[in-house]
Structures are given as structure tokens and as C-alpha cells.
Amino acid sequence: MAKSRAFDVRRQTGFVPIALLCFLVLYLPIILLVVYSFNKGESIAIWEGFSWQWYVKAWQNEKVQDATILSLIIATSASLIATSAAVMAALATTRTRGFRGYTFVFALINQPLMIPEIVTAVALLIFFAMIKVATGYTGLMYLIIAHSAFCIPFAYMPIRARLQGMDLNLEQAGADLYGTPWRVFRRVTLPQLWPGVLAGSMLAFVISLDDVVITEFVKSAGQDTLPTYMLGQMRRVITPEVNAISTALLAISVALVIAFYLLSKGGTQTNRE
């Protein structure tokens, strides 16, 4: 029977098993991590029954509470700042003829994607240490600015993509009807651009929430975010409490990424051709 089946030009021996194995390998560690966050015992390898106790423990841990609040403050601020800057940058760089300095602008915006994070982290450590000595300020602004910077390319990409697919005629019509540039932007451009803005801000939020390296180098004493708190915990004996925190963070990331996917999918469908 198998022989008589139509010859499939797309088949390559062994590729399907490797691909399926790849998906298994990608998800198995994460699934186990989530499963053991519900373990009754202290072990992260032996199942002793279901319990919520590690979530309760993490929830009541004051350090975890502080780190959560800090993470949310930084991610929200950085996402807002990065998205605003990215919207303006996207408006300036799309739907225009090439301009002098375009390569420079493009390289600068994408720089956080190309330069190893550890190098940026070291650079910020040195630079902010100088500012700290000069001004005596040790507050949160260092972390917020640093996060805003590396979030900009992530916010910029979906906004730019959305803007490129948009119809210029509507804005032209708005301008012809004597709309001021600001009014045209608010009433015509922004409503169309909105899915891109939302997608960009969500990516920026996730990227900021997950950052370890730059935060670890830039933070002052007592400024632990959830990831740097967890990194500190990994030097000690690990209990499923870390699993519980991880699971909560995973849930946020996965929810946002799926929302991003649905948003950008809707966006490209209306835009294609």
C-alpha cells in the first residue's frame, strides 16, 4: 500500500521525527518546571502530591512581593517610554524617501539587538557609577532608562511594520480637509496604527520583565527585580518556590505573546495586498 501512495516530493527521511523531538525538547523542561511548582514536597524531582503551598509561600515572601512590584513598575515605565519613542521614530523613518543619516539611525535603533548584553551591561555599570558619584542619586531612574533603551527596537519593529502597510491616502485626505498635523495623527493615523502600538508595547513589557543581565549590573542595593532575585536564589538550595514564581512569570509572558500573535495576525491580514 505504502508504495502505491503518491510520491511526496516534500518528504525528507528523518526530518519529521527530528522536528517532533525538537518540540518535545522545547516544552518538556518547561512543563516539568510547571508541574513541580505544585509539588507537596520539597523535591523538584520526586512527586509527592498536589499542593498550592509554594505559591502561598512565594506570595507571602516579602522579598518576592517587593521584587514583583519593582519589576512591574520598571516594565510599565520602560514600555511606555520605549513605545512613545518608537512611535515617533517609526513615523519619521517609514513611508519616506531615504534620507541622510538613515543608516546611522537604523544602526542605532537596532544596536541593542546586535551588541552582546553583557557589554552594554558593563558600559552602563561604568557610566551610571560615574553619574552616581557626581550626583549622589541612586534611585530607580537608572533601571528605567536602561530598560527603555533596550526595549526601543522591540517596540519599533511591529509599529514600523504596521505603518508600512497603512494607506497614505486617508492622511492625505485629512490634511486636505485642513486637519492640523496633530489632529490628523490623532484622528486618522493613530486609530489605524493602534494594533501595532499595542503589540509593540507588549513586546517591550515582556522584554523588560524578563531582563536579567543589564538589571543585575545596573541595580543599586535593594533594587532586586523578580529575575535578579531568582538568580540570587539559584546559588542556594532550590525549593519549588522558585518554580512557583517562574510559573507565574511564564504565564504572563505566554499570555502576552499569544495576544501579540493574534494582534499582529489581524494586522497583516488587513494589510496584505
Partner 1 sequence: MTQASDTQATRRRWLLLSPALLILLFAASGPLLIVVLYSFLTPGDYGGVVWKFSTDAWFNVVVERDFFDDTLSFSDAHLSIFWRSVKLSLMTTLVAFIVGFPTAYFIATRPKDKRDIWMLLIMIPFWTNLLIRTFAVMEIIRNEGVVNSLLIGLGIIDQPIQMLFTEFAITLGMFYVYLPLMVLPIYAAMERFDFSLVEAAYDLYASRWRVLRRVIFPIVKPGVIAGSILVFVPSLGAYVTPRVLGGGKQLMLGNLIELQFGQGRNWPLGAALSITLLAIVMVALIVYVRAAGREEMSHG
By CB under 8 A, what part of segment 197-226 binds partner 1?
203, 206, 209-210, 212-213, 217
258 binding partner 1? (CB under 8 A):
yes
Residue 124 binds partner 1 (CB under 8 A):
yes
What residues between 60 and 119 interact with partner 1 by CB under 8 A? 81-82, 84-86, 88-89, 91-93, 96, 99, 105, 108-109, 111-112, 114-119
Does 7 participate in binding partner 1 (rule CB under 8 A)? yes
Q: Please identify, using beta-carbon distances, which residue of 72 and 231 lies nearer to partner 1.
A: 231
Asked if 246 touches partner 1 (CB under 8 A), the answer is yes
Q: How many CB atoms lie within 10 A of CB 197?
A: 21
Q: How far is the CB of 63 from partner 1 (least distance, A)?
A: 16
Interface positions, 35-54, toward partner 1 (CB under 8 A): 36, 43-46
Residue 113 CB, nearest approach to partner 1 (Å): 10
Q: If binding is defined by CB under 8 A, does position 250 make contact with partner 1?
A: yes
Write out the binding residues for partner 1, residues 155-184 only, by CB under 8 A.
156
> Are 171 and 181 spatial neighbours (Cβ–Cβ below 8 Å)?
no
**Beta carbon nearer to partner 1, 15 or 137:** 15
d(CA 136, CA 68) in angstroms, rounded, equals 26
Nearest approach in angstroms of CB 19 to partner 1 is: 3
- By CB under 8 A, tell whether 257 contacts partner 1: yes
Q: Of the two residues 47 and 52, which places its CB atom closer to partner 1 in the complex?
A: 47
Q: Is 122 in the site for partner 1 (CB under 8 A)?
A: yes
Q: Minimum distance between the CB of residue 238 and partner 1, rounded to whole angstroms?
A: 8
